[in-house]
């Protein structure tokens, strides 16, 4: 195939390709390919006609330019930075602006399956991997993952004859899927709270992540965020059904559990590191929320 179809020309069946324009053949296990949008799109006048891939999935990041995505008949504007996830079998096409910049990662379905199975979030990642998605790509500060940096890392892996390339690509794909999961969660939060309150909730979570060891009061946290304690409480309850202090305590507990399980620190040292001046207070805090004292928790999980 040398050109996308002319406007008005009927399609009698949906084209199925390997990479766009290439004859569809069963993909080898562990297949992975990454290329710039500018490597293939100009050949077709920056218009990629509607098509699908039988046993390949694609992860696309658009950093400059833009255009329009046709996803199962629905048209979506592409406004960089933009992300697109296409599971196998999904019908899609693109009309890119000239000189659009971005990367297209294509992987065989077995790599996707292996990536999903490799972690504890199997069910949630499986759900995300099975659904097409497009939308704004948020920054690493907002979702904790540098998606554009990951894609560039895959480019470097793909371009050199190294051992373990497929393992590295699979590991990167796990993080890309986690990024999709977080973007999906944030989009749901926007719909539930509205953009203004969702933004304030995200700022609160970011603040807690940076400062939970300080164990600040709700009033002090609200002051840092330039909102009232009442508004902060209302937003967090609406978002996750918990007040801000409970959320902060959850984060402190998680860190304490990590320290007990993965380090050999003394319990008094962990207490101090997590913001407790009195180890006895720490033990009471931990036992109330974890069902037993920290020493028993460590023994039980390290057996």
List strand residue ranges (DSSP E) for the chain, in order.
32-36, 47-51, 56-64, 67-71, 74-78, 82-86, 92-96, 101-108, 133-136
Q: What is the pLDDT of residue 31?
A: 82
Q: Is 215 left (phi over 0), alpha (psi -120 to 50) or beta?
A: left
Q: Which stretch, 14-18, 30-34, 215-219, has highest mean pLDDT? A: 215-219
Q: What is the pLDDT of residue 4?
A: 39
Nearest by Cα to 129 from 56, 220, 48: 56
Q: What is the mean pLDDT of residues 40-67?
A: 92
Q: What is the pLDDT of residue 213?
A: 94
Confidence of residue 3 (pLDDT cuts 50, 70, 90): very low
* Matching residue, tokens 């990642």: 125
Q: Which CA distances in Å does 10 have to 13, 52, 95, 201? A: 9, 17, 18, 49
pLDDT tens, residue by residue, 263-290: 889 999 999 999 999 999 999 999 999 8
Q: What is the mean pLDDT of residues 161-170?
A: 78
Across all residues in the chain, what is the average pLDDT? Answer: 85
Residue pair 300/286 in contact (Cβ under 8 Å)? The answer is no
Confidence of residue 250 (pLDDT cuts 50, 70, 90): very high
Q: What is the pLDDT of residue 183?
A: 86
Please report, for the chain, the start and end positions of each structural domain, with discontinuous segments joined by +: 32-193, 195-302
Q: Which range, of 1-15, 69-83, 179-193, averages the lowest pLDDT?
A: 1-15
Confidence of residue 5 (pLDDT cuts 50, 70, 90): very low
Q: What is the pLDDT of residue 171?
A: 87
Q: What is the pLDDT of residue 63?
A: 95
> pLDDT over 90 for what percent of the chain?
49
User: Does domain 195-302 correspond to CATH entry 3.20.20.70?
Assistant: no
Q: What is the pLDDT of residue 14?
A: 65
pLDDT at 25 over 60: no
Which one has a higher pLDDT value, 116 or 61? 61
Superfamily of domain 32-193: Jelly Rolls (2.60.120.10)
Q: What is the pLDDT of residue 66?
A: 95
pLDDT tens, residue by residue, 181-226: 888 877 766 677 777 887 888 889 889 988 999 999 999 999 999 9
pLDDT tens, residue by residue, 128-152: 899 999 988 888 877 889 999 999 9
């Amino acid at each position: 195939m040398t050109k996308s179809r002319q406007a008005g020309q009927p399609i009698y069946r949906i084209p199925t390709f390997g990479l766009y324009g290439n004859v569809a053949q069963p993909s080898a296990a562990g297949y992975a390919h990454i290329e710039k949008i500018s490597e293939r799109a100009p050949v077709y006048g920056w218009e990629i006609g509607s098509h699908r891939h039988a046993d390949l999935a694609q992860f696309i990041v658009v950093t400059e330019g833009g255009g329009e995505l046709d996803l199962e008949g629905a048209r979506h504007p592409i406004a960089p930075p933009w992300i697109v996830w296409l599971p196998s079998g999904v019908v899609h096409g693109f009309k890119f602006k000239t000189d659009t910049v971005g990367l297209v990662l294509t992987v065989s379905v077995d790599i996707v399956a292996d990536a999903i199975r490799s972690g504890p979030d199997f069910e949630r990642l499986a759900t995300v991997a099975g659904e097409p998605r497009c939308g704004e790509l948020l920054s690493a500060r907002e979702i904790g993952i540098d998606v554009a940096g990951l894609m560039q890392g895959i480019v470097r892996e793909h371009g050199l004859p190294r051992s373990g390339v497929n393992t590295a690509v699979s590991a990167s794909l796990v993080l890309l899927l986690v990024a999709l999961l977080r973007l999906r969660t944030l989009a749901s939060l926007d719909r539930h709270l509205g953009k203004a309150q969702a933004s304030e909730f995200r700022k609160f979570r970011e603040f807690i992540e940076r400062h939970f060891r300080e164990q600040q009061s709700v009033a002090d946290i609200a002051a840092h965020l330039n909102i009232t304690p009442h508004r902060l409480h209302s937003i967090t309850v609406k978002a996750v059904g918990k007040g801000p202090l409970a959320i902060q305590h959850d984060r402190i507990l998680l860190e304490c559990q990590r320290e007990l399980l993965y380090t050999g620190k003394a319990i008094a040292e962990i207490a101090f590191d997590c913001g407790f001046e009195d180890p006895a207070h720490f033990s009471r805090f931990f036992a109330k929320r974890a069902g037993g004292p920290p020493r028993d928790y460590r023994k039980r999980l390290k057996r």
